[in-house]
Structures are given as C-alpha cells and as structure tokens.
Amino acid sequence: MLWIDTHCHLDAPEFSADVREVVGRARAAGVGMQVLPAVVPDHFATVRQLAHHHGLSYALGTHPLWLRRAGEHAVQALADALAAHAADPRLVAVGEIGLDHFVPALQSPAARAAQEVLYAEQLRLAHAGGWPVILHVRRSADTLLKHLRRLHAQGRGLAGGIAHAFNGSEQQAMAFVDMGFKLGFGGAMTFDRALQIRRLAQGLPAEALVLETDAPDIPPHWLYRTAEQRAIDAQAAHGRNEPGELPRIAATLAELRGWRLDETAARTSANALAALPRLAALMPAVTD
C-alpha cells in the first residue's frame, strides 16, 4: 500500500535533530510521498532542499500566522520563487496560504484585512501560474470561499488544491469540492469527540478526501498530551506527530467509511494525485 501525506512540516524545529530518521520511519510505514508546504519566505529554500534530498515534494507560500514575520515583501518573494522554480518537478503547489480567524492576535480589523490582502495576492499568483493551492482554513471558510468565488465569477478559477485540516460545515465542504478542492483529514479525526470532523470524513464524497498529518502538529489521540503533561515532560519528542503515523490515522478513516485499508490507501492517494497533479510524475521514483 502507498500512502501520501499531503501536509507535513519537516522544516519545523521539532525535526531538526532527526529528520532523516523521521523520513525513514515514514517510508518503512508505507508513506511513499510527503508534501512539505512552506509557511514563510525564510523557509522556501529549506523546504525545497528537504524535498530534493529526501525524494519528496514541496509547496511555497506564506501562512497567515507568519504574516508579520514575512513583512511587506512576502508576495514579491513568492512571485520570485515561483518564477525561479517553476520547472522544478518537486514544486507541486502554492501553499500554505489562507486565513486564520481563530488566533486572537490576528483578529483586529487591521490584521484581518492584512490577511485577506496577502491571501488574495497569493491566489492571484497561483492562478497566473496554473498552480493548485494548499489552504489554511481555521474558522475562515466563508471568507476563503468568497475570494475563490470572486475568481470564478471573473472566469479565472484556480486549478483546485486542498483545504487543509478541514473542520467546517458540510455546506462549506461541498462548496470547496464544487470548486475542485479536496479536503484534508488527519489526527483530529481520531478523537471520538471530534464529532463534526468524523461526520464529514464519513459522509463526504469519497473523491473529496485526502490524508495528512500536519506533523509535528495535530497529533492523533494516541500521541496527544495535555498542557499539564507537556509542562511536566519537557522532552519535545513526546507527543510529536510524524508522517509515519499516517497509516494508523488512515485506519480511522477506513473504519468510518467501512473501507478496507488497501482501498483507503488507493482512494486517498488517487485523490491526492488529482489535487496536486505534479505528484504523479514523482511516484515511481519513491515506489520502485
């Protein structure tokens, strides 16, 4: 079985000491491909180097949480990087871009407006280059969809992509699907109390679903540590999510859907290839 982790941050500091071992464990578990989205221009070179060194893939963009660090030159940095690396087969998308309507520091009118400007400009670049996008959707689905609909109304629809870590309503989910997007499901789905996410994973069209870890974040229930536990246990590796957890996360999706595990791998991998078409040319090199 071949698994594709459509969202993994191997450039995170949590992996700085053992990234080679992390990739090795993932491969041993059957995770043949990972997509490494950048979060800020400072990381563009790092994710590209990681993808090339380990036979993976990457995306370029500025995450809304990194808005201040990226500064006013973020859009130009993305434009320059896309131009420089357009022919790189391991570059598969623009991302991680989007909007965050949860983190308190980003909820002032000025901060929300700045997020929207950055998002809209990165969408513009994605459209101009024919790139799919990997979207950060955190209590922001309606506003993200507003901008996507605006592009569609202008006859300038995007090449689709993935709405990462989706946790909106079924109506919002289908709006993304209708515009050619797949929806990412990961560790949050493994919690019994995540009723909305589990309902979506169970009920959405099969062709809408892709798998992800968001490692080192969004750990599945068997890795989760409470704030109190994290305060007591200072070892960063405890509770850290890894791409090698993907098959076990996928078992939850298989159970919810009533699928065999090999069927789950086949369906979600096919969906990932549909969302990010450049992945298709990379697969033989990691599955031989």
Question: pLDDT tier at 284 (50, 70, 90 boundaries)?
Answer: very low
How long, in residues, is the chain? 288
Question: pLDDT tier at 116 (50, 70, 90 boundaries)?
Answer: very high
164 is annotated as contributing to ligand binding: yes
Q: Which residues contact 248 (CB under 8 A, 6 or more apart)?
A: 220, 222
Which residue matches tokens 């996008």?
Answer: 133
Whether 236 shows a pLDDT value over 50: the answer reads no
Q: What angle do CA 249, 265, 159 make, to 5 degrees?
A: 100
Q: Percent of the chain having pLDDT more than 70?
A: 94
Q: What is the mean pLDDT of residues 31-48?
A: 97
Rounded Cα distance between 5 and 28, Å, is: 14
Q: What is the mean pLDDT of residues 194-223?
A: 97
Rounded Cα distance between 212 and 236, Å, is: 21
Whether 235 shows a pLDDT value over 90: the answer reads no
- Per the structure, the complete domain to which residue 176 belongs is given by 3-287
Rounded Cα distance between 196 and 170, Å, is: 9
Q: Percent of the chain having pLDDT more than 90?
A: 86
Note if the bond before 96 is cis, omega within 30 degrees. Answer: yes
Give the per-residue pLDDT at 285: 47
Whether 288 shows a pLDDT value over 80: the answer reads no
Q: What is the spatial order of strands in the sheet that 133-138 belongs to?
A: 3-5, 31-37, 57-60, 91-100, 133-138, 161-164, 181-185, 209-211
- Over residues 152-162, the pLDDT tens digits come to 888 777 889 99
147 is annotated as contributing to ligand binding: no
Q: What is the mean pLDDT of residues 8-22?
A: 97
- Over residues 136-151, the pLDDT tens digits come to 999 999 999 999 999 8
42 is annotated as contributing to ligand binding: no
Rounded Cα distance between 182 and 155, Å, is: 21
Whether 32 shows a pLDDT value over 50: the answer reads yes
Whether 239 shows a pLDDT value over 90: the answer reads no
127 is annotated as contributing to ligand binding: no
Strand partners, 58: 36, 91
96 is annotated as contributing to ligand binding: yes
Strand partners, 210: 184
Give the per-residue pLDDT at 287: 40
242 is annotated as contributing to ligand binding: no
> 57-71, 85-99, 254-268: which range is least confident on average?
57-71
Is residue 76 within 8 Å of 37, Cβ to Cβ?
no
Find the CATH number of the domain harbouring 251. 3.20.20.140
Give the per-residue pLDDT at 238: 54
How many domains would you assign to the chain? 1
Q: Is 118 helix (H, G, I), strand (E, B) or coil?
A: helix
Q: What is the mean pLDDT of residues 111-127?
A: 96
Rounded Cα distance between 83 and 212, Å, is: 28
- Helix runs in 60-209, H state only: 67-70, 74-85, 109-129, 141-153, 170-178, 195-203
181-185 and 209-211 beta bridge pairing: parallel
Look over the chain and give the mean of its residue pLDDT values, rounded to a whole number: 93
Structure-block tokens of residue 251: 């078992």
Q: What is the mean pLDDT of residues 254-260?
A: 98
Rounded Cα distance between 6 and 35, Å, is: 5
Whether 106 shows a pLDDT value over 50: the answer reads yes
Give the per-residue pLDDT at 153: 83
Structure-block tokens of residue 8: 């993994």
- Over residues 72-81, the pLDDT tens digits come to 899 999 999 9
